[in-house]
């Protein structure tokens, strides 16, 4: 933009609200899961699809969302994303069966995948004229992510306890309508550009991810060595291989493979995938332990997780950035994953007759500190080496990696937990055995992530810049 937009700070409010809502959509459903399970007939293993349907659609389509934003204009795609998110919320709220609920969550994920990259493009347009303003705007935008996670946990508990679980989706409808009404007044119109949409690539990568997760989810029932499981896994590998071939063949791919030659990109994405694969299963099974073993209602369960989410917000905003400037990314990623492994490992000691203050609170706070130390440095490492014109692509890749790691990690840990007794509803001892196994598995994944980062991550070149743009983009991812 040639002229400074006088309404840019009002626009930031709209964009930050979008980031807040997209992140809240992954956390608000946590404490509502047991109520949804009872009303909609989810199995203990199938319940994870309420989460996975969103993250697979969101993570699998982020790159396509960024491409559509470039081609058709960021403001238009941002608005369409909100329309899709509202539609998915209506379906999810009105669902009377498990499959309709999963469909609504997937539609919500599609909306989020359109909103997130368009919001980043609009932010760069509004504040790119001034690096100092850009840094401030990005930091405020980034702070909306942990705030959304924190609000989602608490709000989900309040809504589920005093209204009913459909209201965790209904709340998006008035907010979405208000956002749509504000878009013409505060967000700049963005001209699209000529080009093609790599639809086949988007379909192949999303289908491959979804089939891989489905295979892992079904494996405990079908058998890991059964023909059905092996065929599903082979199909997932084939679809992902087709995706890579498409990216090599088309002129305008959604993920140019040349970006993977960027130093440090692959290692940082590996760290992010394993971080998601450890953190999300811990969060998911901690919700179930509080409600299905300790007998907490929805509101007490949400309140019990509030200290952990507040700790994440405080560390991400006020502490991690300072430590990053002093020690660099690698020590924080390695140390953060190690601390996360320690906290999640401590949660594996939970008891059937446990108490929140002794069994949950200390370990969850340790895990939260580990997550906070590793997340932002890993995001920055994934973006700091790319050319400025590729920063949006790098942001989309690392967000996709984190969401795919989250979905696959949750599928694997659910399979482990189910095999150890987590499907035995009404039996606190067997449930605890299953949840303990999942916590052990998540701790191992976090420890593996720290070890691989220690071995594989190289020290960045001295010329590598750590300007405000990559830092704040990673905060806002």
Asked whether the domain spanning 260-477 has the same topology as the one spanning 1-187, the reply is: yes
pLDDT of residue 235: 94
User: Over 50: is that where the pLDDT of 476 sits?
Assistant: no
pLDDT of residue 192: 63
* Residue 436: pLDDT band with limits 50, 70, 90: very high
pLDDT of residue 150: 64
More confident residue, 377 or 87: 87
pLDDT of residue 421: 83
| pLDDT tens sequence across 278-294 | 998 898 888 889 888 99
Distances (CA, A) of 212 to 209, 243, 400, 438: 5, 14, 15, 19
Spell out the domain ranges in the chain. Answer: 1-187, 199-249, 260-477
Contacts of 277 (CB under 8 A, 6+ apart): 405, 406, 408, 409, 410, 412, 442, 445, 449
Are 347 and 224 in contact by the 8 Å Cβ rule? The answer is no
Pick from 7-16, 82-91, 138-147 the range whose average pLDDT is largest: 82-91
pLDDT of residue 185: 82
pLDDT of residue 389: 57
User: Over 50: is that where the pLDDT of 2 sits?
Assistant: no
Going by the DSSP 8-state scheme, the letter that residue 55 receives in this structure is H
Average pLDDT score, the chain: 82
Cα 8 to its chain centre, rounded Å, is 27
User: Over 80: is that where the pLDDT of 124 sits?
Assistant: no
User: Over 80: is that where the pLDDT of 473 sits?
Assistant: no
pLDDT of residue 469: 38
Ramachandran area for residue 213 (φ above 0: left; ψ -120 to 50: alpha; else beta)? alpha
Cα torsion at 379, 469, 146, 371 (round to 10°)? 30
| pLDDT tens sequence across 125-163 | 787 666 677 666 766 776 676 667 667 777 777 887 778
pLDDT of residue 477: 32
* Residue 459: pLDDT band with limits 50, 70, 90: low
Percentage of the chain exceeding pLDDT 90: 23
Percentage of the chain exceeding pLDDT 70: 87
User: Over 90: is that where the pLDDT of 470 sits?
Assistant: no
User: Over 50: is that where the pLDDT of 468 sits?
Assistant: no
Contacts of 389 (CB under 8 A, 6+ apart): none
pLDDT of residue 260: 86
Q: Which of 70, 64, 155 is nearest to 112 (CA)?
A: 64
More confident residue, 425 or 456: 456
Which of 3-12, 242-251, 323-332, 381-390 has the weakest average pLDDT? 381-390
pLDDT of residue 153: 72
The architecture (CATH level 2) of 1-187 comes to Up-down Bundle (1.20)
Q: Which of 411, 319, 427, 433 is nearest to 374 (CA)?
A: 319
DSSP string, 120-178: HHHHHHHHTT-HHHHHHHHHHHHHHHHHHHHHHHHHHHHHHHHS-TTHHHHTHHHHHHH
User: Over 90: is that where the pLDDT of 443 sits?
Assistant: yes
First-to-final CA distance of the chain? 23
User: Over 80: is that where the pLDDT of 6 sits?
Assistant: no
pTM: 0.77
pLDDT of residue 465: 39
More confident residue, 102 or 222: 102
Arithmetic mean of pLDDT, 321-347 = 90
Cα torsion at 244, 246, 249, 251 (round to 10°)? -110
Arithmetic mean of pLDDT, 335-362 = 93
The architecture (CATH level 2) of 260-477 comes to Up-down Bundle (1.20)
User: Over 70: is that where the pLDDT of 1 sits?
Assistant: no
Q: Which of 347, 375, 384 is nearest to 362 (CA)?
A: 347
């Amino acid at each position: 933009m040639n002229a400074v937009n006088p309404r840019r700070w009002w626009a930031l409010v709209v964009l930050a609200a979008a980031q807040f809502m997209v992140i809240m959509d992954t956390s608000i459903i946590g404490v509502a899961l047991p109520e949804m399970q009872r009303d909609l007939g989810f199995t203990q293993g199938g319940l994870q699809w309420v989460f996975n349907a969103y993250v697979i659609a969101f993570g699998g389509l982020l790159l396509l969302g960024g491409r559509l934003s470039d081609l058709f204009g960021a403001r238009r795609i941002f608005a369409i994303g909100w329309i899709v998110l509202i539609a998915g919320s209506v379906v999810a709220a009105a669902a009377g069966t498990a499959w309709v609920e999963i469909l609504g969550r997937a539609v919500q994920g599609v909306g989020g995948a359109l909103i997130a990259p368009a919001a980043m493009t609009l932010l760069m347009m509004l504040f790119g004229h001034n690096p100092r303003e850009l840094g401030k705007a990005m930091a405020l935008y980034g702070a909306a992510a942990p705030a959304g996670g924190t609000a989602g946990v608490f709000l989900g508990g309040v809504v589920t306890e005093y209204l009913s679980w459909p209201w965790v989706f209904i709340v998006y409808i008035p907010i979405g309508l208000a956002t749509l009404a504000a878009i013409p007044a505060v967000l700049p119109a963005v001209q699209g550009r000529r080009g093609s949409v790599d639809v086949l690539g988007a379909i192949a990568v999303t289908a491959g991810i979804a089939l891989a997760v489905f295979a892992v989810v079904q494996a405990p029932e079908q058998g890991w060595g059964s023909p059905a499981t092996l065929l599903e896994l082979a199909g997932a590998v084939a679809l992902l291989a087709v995706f890579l071939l498409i990216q090599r063949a088309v002129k305008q791919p959604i993920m140019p493979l040349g970006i993977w030659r960027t130093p440090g990109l692959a290692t940082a994405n590996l760290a992010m995938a394993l971080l998601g694969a450890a953190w999300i299963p811990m969060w998911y099974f901690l919700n179930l332990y509080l409600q299905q073993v300790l007998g907490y209602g929805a509101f007490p369960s949400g309140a019990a997780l509030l200290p952990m989410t507040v700790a994440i917000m405080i560390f991400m905003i006020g502490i991690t950035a300072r430590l990053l400037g002093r020690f660099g990314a690698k020590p924080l990623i390695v140390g953060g994953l190690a601390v996360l492994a320690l906290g999640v490992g401590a949660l594996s000691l939970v008891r059937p007759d446990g108490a929140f203050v002794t069994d949950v609170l200390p370990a969850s706070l340790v895990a939260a500190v580990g997550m906070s130390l590793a997340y932002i440095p890993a995001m920055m490492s994934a973006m700091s080496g790319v050319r400025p014109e590729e920063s949006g692509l790098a942001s989309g890749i690392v967000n996709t990696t984190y969401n795919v790691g989250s979905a696959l990690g949750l599928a694997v840990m659910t399979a482990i937990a189910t095999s150890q007794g987590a499907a035995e509803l009404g039996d606190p001892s067997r449930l605890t055995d299953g949840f303990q196994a999942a916590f052990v598995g998540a701790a191992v994944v976090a420890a593996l992530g720290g070890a691989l980062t220690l071995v594989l991550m190289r020290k960045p070149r001295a010329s590598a810049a750590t300007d405000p743009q990559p830092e704040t983009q990673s905060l806002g991812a």
